[in-house]
Amino acid sequence: MSVTILDESNFEQEILQADKTCLVDFFATWCGPCKMMAPVIDEIASENPDVKVAKLDVDEADEIAEQYGVMSIPTLIIFKNGEAVKTFVGVQSKEDILAALK
């Protein structure tokens, strides 16, 4: 699957109402560590069709980022049944992310 691009207009429908586990990458275009995570996020999306993988630009959707306590980027949040269940802050290994998605 491809990575879904989120904003304030589609976050609720795409993530909170999703019928599968979601991984949301809170990022910014100017963030070096976020750019390092991008290939890992793309790999997870393509290799795990049972997980919805999405990206949210914190500069474009700062209210959502604030709602979920995103203070540093990249921040990855796993959602299940519309609830945030796991948060990673900073660059993470693909293995750690996949383990948390199980």
Give the pLDDT confidence of 11-21 residue by residue, as tens digits: 999 999 999 99
Q: Name the E strands within the chain.
A: 4-6, 21-27, 51-57, 75-80, 83-89
34 is catalytic: yes
- As given in the structure block, the two tokens for residue 96 are 């750690």
22 is catalytic: no
Considering the chain, what percentage of its residues have pLDDT values greater than 90? 97
Q: Could you tell me the pTM of the whole model? A: 0.96
Helix-, strand-, coil-residue percentages of the chain, each rounded to 5: 35, 30, 35
Range of the domain at 55: 4-101
Q: Indicate which residue of 3, 31, 84, 101 is catalytic.
A: 31
What's the total number of domains in the chain?
Answer: 1
Q: Indicate which residue of 34, 40, 56, 61 is catalytic.
A: 34
Give the pLDDT confidence of 52-70 residue by residue, as tens digits: 999 999 999 999 999 999 9
CA distances in angstroms from 22 to 11, 25, 31, 34, 87, listed in the order given? 11, 10, 22, 18, 12
Looking up residue 42, the CATH number of its domain turns out to be 3.40.30.10
